[in-house]
Amino acid sequence: MRKVLSSIIGGIPGAVIVGTAYDGRDGLSKIRSLRPDIVTLDIEMPHLDGMGVLQELRLLPVAERPAVLICSTLTSAGSHAALKALRLGASDVILKDPHSLGAGGDAAKVDLTGKIKALYESKHRCPATSAPRASVATPGSHASPPRTIDLSGKAIEVILIGSSTGGPPVLEQILMALPADLPMPVVVAQHMPRMFTKSISERLDEECALSVVHAEHEMPLLPGSVYITPGGLHSRIKPNAKGRATLIVAEDPKGALYKPSVDELLASGAALGPRALGIVLTGMGADGAIGAKAMHASKGIVIAQDAESCVVYGMPRAVVEAGAASAQLTPPQICAAVRQLAPFGQGRPSSQSAA
């Protein structure tokens, strides 16, 4: 796997491999001396495993921490371990499959290259030592969105969340802060393979006051429940005349770049107009911008995660630059805003995140 990764990364224009390591301790030593921008890290290693390395990296000054791509197997155990690694600070996941990354695995190579480029650009665009910056919209287009929002008294019927690179820990933070008596359902589109989205739903169901399920086609959308879209599929909400919505889970559009597609999910929320709330979290690319524009046009509310708290400020930035963001908030602010929709509920503190 190390040779395959080295071959792919070495072929990325501008990328330089400054070192390789044979175990966790050697890797940690080289990280401290070579100061790389990005590290690919296996979970299973002798002497000091990937979790141990991540815990040690958390002791470094923020400016000296590299972005970490964790290598994981596409199994239940591997996906749960990868999610723990993300909670410990890893930025994203690489599937530990030399065959898909080797000959003929063009999609996997493109995905890895995209992640490395996005993490590098994010690290150097927003250095940890810089002061917080105001959001900047595209010149001549739209003003920067507000840094606060008041949702109290809003008649929201559904919350739609889109998330990608760096998203699972933020998603967990938000959902764990919400009370069991949340008066509307939450539907999530997280860019991950199906095994990982299943593991996310299992963990969140154990940790959250809300009921969390791995979504299935035509499930009724119930208050106080969270529906995680399976990887490889898309989800859309389908309102009905009785005021209750159902969830459509399907393969179409099969040619979508991201599966699940945040655009598909948010666009379906436009049918509810001001009764839908969309939230776009950290992630590379622009998935969610088209759907957010549809929601915005129908007077729906869309919150984008702020640049400073994003692992990759791609998806939220696209929403902001499209003029579709009602507000741009930090994860704790998002937690507080959504909790306004259930003022008498008792969720967990927004800062809590179990390891």
pLDDT in tens, 294-336: 999 999 999 999 999 999 999 999 999 999 999 999 999 999 9
Give Cα 280 distance to the centre of its chain.
9
Q: Is the pLDDT confidence value at 155 over 60? A: yes
Task: Please tell me if the domain spanning 2-125 has the same topology as the one spanning 158-339.
Answer: yes
* Residue of 80, 191, 214, 296 marked catalytic: 191
Q: Does domain 158-339 have CATH number 3.40.50.180?
A: yes
pLDDT band at 135 (very low <50, low <70, confident <90, very high): very low
287 noted as active-site residue: yes
Question: What is the tens place of the pLDDT at every residue in 109-119?
Answer: 888 899 999 99
Question: What residue has token string 């998203």?
Answer: 167
**C-alpha distances in Å from residue 215, one per residue of 211, 228, 230, 267:** 12, 5, 6, 18
Mean pLDDT of 266-272: 96
350 noted as active-site residue: no
- Domain locations in the chain as residue ranges: 2-125, 158-339
How much is the pTM? 0.87
Query: For residue 240, which amino acid is it?
Result: N
Mean pLDDT of 29-36: 94
* Residue of 164, 235, 261, 350 marked catalytic: 164
Architecture of domain 2-125: 3-Layer(aba) Sandwich (3.40)
Please say whether the beta carbons of 238 and 267 come within 8 A.
no
Q: Is the pLDDT confidence value at 165 over 90? A: yes
* Residue of 72, 287, 306, 326 marked catalytic: 287
Please say whether the beta carbons of 316 and 330 come within 8 A.
no
pLDDT for 55 equals: 96
pLDDT for 3 equals: 79
SS3 95: strand
Token pair belonging to 307: 């640049």
> What does the DSSP 8-state code read for residue 242?
T
**C-alpha distances in Å from residue 228, one per residue of 24, 41, 68, 82, 244:** 33, 27, 25, 17, 18
Whole-number Å distance between alpha carbons of 164 and 216: 21
SS3 150: coil
Q: Is the pLDDT confidence value at 133 over 70? A: no
7 noted as active-site residue: no
Reported as type and span, the H/E element at residue 186 is: strand 186-190
Q: Is the pLDDT confidence value at 351 over 70? A: no
